[in-house]
């Protein structure tokens, strides 16, 4: 579920972990990190906003049932990718200096595992779709499985680009792949392709980004494989794999529970709500996530710098993502019909619950990367396992009451999980639980103020839904920025560096951040 998935959203960001912070980092690293974050943020805004328009079009051409069918099939794919990667891509990003033997070992293992695991699951497709009680998902799952080796084959080139901090290149590749894929999806949907429009979108993105990664990385594997290097990789990677496997199984379990208990139409409604919340999160905090694990790993030997980097990254992630998620929660009754049409009204209350839980879980991007950068994925594994078990159990307990009950139950789980996460992080970086809670509380003040004003605008206005949605958006974002400037002026200044604003506007707003409070 989007609102309960601190780990799954991290996967969607390319196994990235948190928002970057340059405070305490060497000047050269700081400049590179800031530049990379800005490029990735720009990419996310372009891709997600254009993607939102695409989904708005597809929602009018593709039925809720078809959305549910693809969601059921897609829930299986991360399982194959995870077992194929075995944490090797993360190892290659954070290790000191991987040589040709290390790179080739990782490549050949991943590709072989993708063929074996993907092929085995391909043969078991009838069993899988019967378990999910979604027989229509069989052909879709088979086609998606056929694309897995292409994804895995690009993992080493992509890891090399990240190691080199070539985030501008990755951003441009991602934007190009997404743009072409969205156009393909609309063409297929207009032609009456139904669920295959969504499949075509996924395949096109994979084909373009994988091809471009190979082209720009300028690397080719040798015919070398070292069992010693492979053992070193797996000692690091198996805990990461376990974390991601737990998240995949949780997502799989949630999908099965909703599909079996409420049907594919309900799963389609849930998918739309998840996508809207995910867009808000990615436009906010997770867009800059691939930069942070590199930065935190480089300053981990200096406790003061690590604490400064973490705190700045955490407040920036919360500060940037919160207004967007607040807007989604407040304006869902007008945004859903404007974007997707009146037949998606059942997604409105679900979206509100997921957005509120999303405000809490967005902080896990930072915490996830912190534990990886410190070389302690085992502790995160314990936390993630317990949290995900509780999440699935909660889904099973409340699903009989409908999707809205499921979404709001996640808010309760998210609150408890966040408190536990603060306790774990405070011990790791040598700070206090109260200090972490105070930072989040400052952002909550901004969120409560913008929520209040947004609800007043929503309930007091009438007329076209598009106009009301725009008015609520202006009110929520404006109030949030004003309060952020007063409560967290440093975070306000950092946020301006990431925002998709014209340079002249950004300079003027930054001058305001230097005025006395």
126-175 per-position pLDDT tens digit: 887 787 777 788 888 888 888 888 777 778 888 777 777 666 777 777 77
**Residue 370 in 3-state DSSP?**
helix
Are 347 and 401 contacting, i.e. CB atoms less than 8 angstroms apart? no
The residue written with tokens 């879980």 in the block is: 361
281 touches 362 (CB < 8 A): yes
Q: What is the dihedral of CA 345, 351, 352, 358, to 10 degrees?
A: 180
Number of domains in the chain: 1
Q: From CA 208, how far away is CA 387, in angstroms rounded?
A: 35
Contact 105, 233 (CB under 8 A): yes
CA-wise closest residue to 77 among 127, 174, 156, 149: 149
User: Tokens 């003040």 map to which residue?
Assistant: 445
User: 């299986």: which residue's tokens?
Assistant: 76
Give Cβ neighbours of residue 502 (< 8 Å, ≥ 6 apart): none
Percent of the chain with pLDDT strictly greater than 90:
16
pLDDT value, residue 21: 38
- As a residue count, the chain comes to 517
How high is the pLDDT of residue 457? 94
The whole model's pTM is what?
0.64
Helix, strand, coil share of the chain (percent; to 5): 85, 0, 15
Q: Collapse the DSSP code of 146 into the 3-class scheme (helix H, G, I; strand E, B; otherwise coil) and give the result.
A: helix
CA distances from 166 to 29, 34, 96 (A): 12, 12, 17
CB atoms within 10 A of CB 369: 29
| Residue at token pair 């009950």 | 405
Q: What is the pLDDT along the chain (517 residues), one digit of tens a residue?
A: 443 433 333 333 333 333 333 344 444 445 555 555 555 555 566 666 666 677 777 778 888 888 888 887 887 777 777 666 666 766 666 566 777 787 888 788 878 877 887 888 888 888 877 877 777 888 888 888 888 887 777 788 887 777 776 667 777 777 788 888 888 888 988 888 888 888 888 888 888 888 888 888 788 888 888 887 777 777 766 777 777 778 778 887 888 898 888 888 888 888 888 888 888 877 766 555 556 666 676 677 788 888 887 887 788 788 888 888 999 999 999 999 888 888 888 889 999 999 999 888 888 877 887 887 777 777 888 898 899 899 999 999 999 998 899 999 989 999 999 999 999 999 888 888 888 888 888 888 999 999 999 999 999 988 899 899 999 999 999 999 899 889 888 777 766 665 544 444 444 434 444 444 3
Radius of gyration of the chain (CA): 22
Residue that has been written with the tokens 């919340």 in this structure: 277
The pLDDT of residue 5 is 36
Please state, in angstroms and rounded to a whole number, the distance separating the CA atoms of residues 265 and 249: 22
Q: Give the pLDDT confidence score for residue 93 in this predicted structure.
A: 63
**pLDDT, tens digit (0-9, with 9 covering 90-100), for 74-105:** 877 777 776 666 667 666 665 667 777 878 88
**Three-state secondary structure string covering 268-325:** HHHHHHHHHHHHHHHHHCHHHHHHHHHHHHHHCCCHHHHHHHHHHHHHHHHHHHHHHH
What is the model's pLDDT at position 247?
A: 78
Please report where in the chains the tokens 């099973």 appear, as a residue. Answer: 396
What is the DSSP code (8-state) at residue 343? G
Report angle CA 384, 388, 393 to the nearest 5 degrees: 155
> Tokens 């996310």 sit at which residue?
44
With left for phi above 0 and alpha for psi between -120 and 50, is residue 63 left, alpha or beta? Answer: beta
Domain hosting residue 495, numbered range: 2-513
Residue 113 carries which DSSP code? H
3-class secondary structure, 427:
helix
> What was the pLDDT predicted at 210?
84
* Rounded CA separation 388/420 (Å): 13
Residue 41 C-beta-side C-alpha neighbours within 13 Å: 25
The single residue listed with the structure tokens 């997404």 is 178
Q: Is 462 exposed, middle or buried (0-12, 13-18, 19+ CB in 10 A)?
A: exposed
CB 330 within 8 A of CB 457: no
């Amino acid at each position: 579920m989007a609102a309960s998935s601190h780990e799954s959203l991290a996967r969607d960001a390319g196994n990235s972990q948190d928002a970057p912070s340059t405070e305490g980092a060497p000047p050269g690293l700081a400049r590179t990190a800031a530049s990379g974050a800005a490029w990735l943020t720009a990419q996310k805004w372009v891709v997600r906003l254009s993607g939102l328009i695409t989904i708005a079009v597809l929602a009018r051409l593709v039925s809720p049932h078809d959305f549910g069918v693809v969601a059921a099939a897609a829930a299986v794919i991360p399982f194959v990718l995870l077992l194929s990667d075995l944490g090797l891509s993360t190892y290659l990003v954070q290790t000191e200096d991987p040589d040709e033997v290390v790179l080739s070992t990782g490549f050949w293992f991943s590709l072989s595992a993708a063929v074996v695991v993907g092929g085995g699951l391909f043969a078991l497709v009838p069993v899988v779709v019967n378990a999910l009680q979604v027989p229509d998902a069989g052909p879709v799952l088979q086609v998606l499985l056929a694309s897995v080796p292409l994804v895995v084959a690009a993992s080493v080139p992509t890891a090399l680009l990240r190691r080199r901090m070539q985030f501008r290149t990755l951003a441009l590749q991602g934007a190009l792949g997404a743009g072409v894929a969205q156009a393909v999806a609309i063409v297929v949907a207009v032609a009456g392709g139904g669920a295959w429009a969504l499949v075509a979108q996924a395949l096109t993105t994979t084909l373009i980004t994988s091809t471009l990664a190979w082209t720009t990385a300028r690397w080719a594997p040798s015919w070398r494989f070292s069992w010693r290097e492979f053992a070193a990789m797996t000692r690091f990677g198996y805990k990461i794999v376990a974390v991601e496997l737990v998240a995949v199984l949780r997502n799989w379990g949630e999908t099965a529970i909703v599909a079996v208990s409420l049907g594919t139409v309900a799963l389609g409604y849930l998918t739309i709500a998840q996508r809207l919340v995910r867009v808000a999160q990615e436009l906010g905090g997770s867009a800059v996530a691939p930069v942070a694990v590199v930065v935190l790993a480089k300053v981990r030997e200096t406790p003061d710098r690590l604490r400064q980097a973490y705190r700045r990254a955490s407040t920036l992630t919360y500060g940037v993502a919160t207004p967007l998620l607040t807007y989604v929660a407040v304006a869902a009754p007008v945004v859903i019909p404007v974007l997707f049409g009146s037949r998606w009204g059942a997604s409105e209350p679900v979206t509100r619950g997921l957005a509120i839980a999303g405000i809490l879980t967005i902080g896990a991007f930072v915490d996830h990367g912190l534990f990886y950068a410190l070389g302690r994925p085992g502790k995160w594994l314990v936390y993630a396992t317990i949290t995900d078990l509780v999440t699935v159990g909660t889904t099973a307990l409340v699903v009989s009451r409908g999707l809205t009950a499921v979404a709001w139950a996640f808010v309760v789980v998210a609150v408890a999980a966040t408190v536990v996460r603060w306790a774990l992080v405070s011990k790791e970086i040598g700070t206090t639980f109260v200090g972490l809670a105070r930072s989040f509380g400052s952002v909550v003040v901004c969120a409560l103020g913008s929520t209040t004003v947004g609800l007043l605008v929503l309930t007091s206005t009438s007329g076209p839904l598009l106009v009301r949605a725009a008015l609520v958006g202006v009110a929520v974002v404006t109030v949030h920025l004003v309060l952020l400037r007063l409560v967290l002026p440093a975070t306000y200044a950092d946020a301006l560096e990431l925002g998709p604003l014209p340079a002249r506007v950004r300079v003027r707003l930054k001058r305001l951040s230097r005025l006395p409070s």
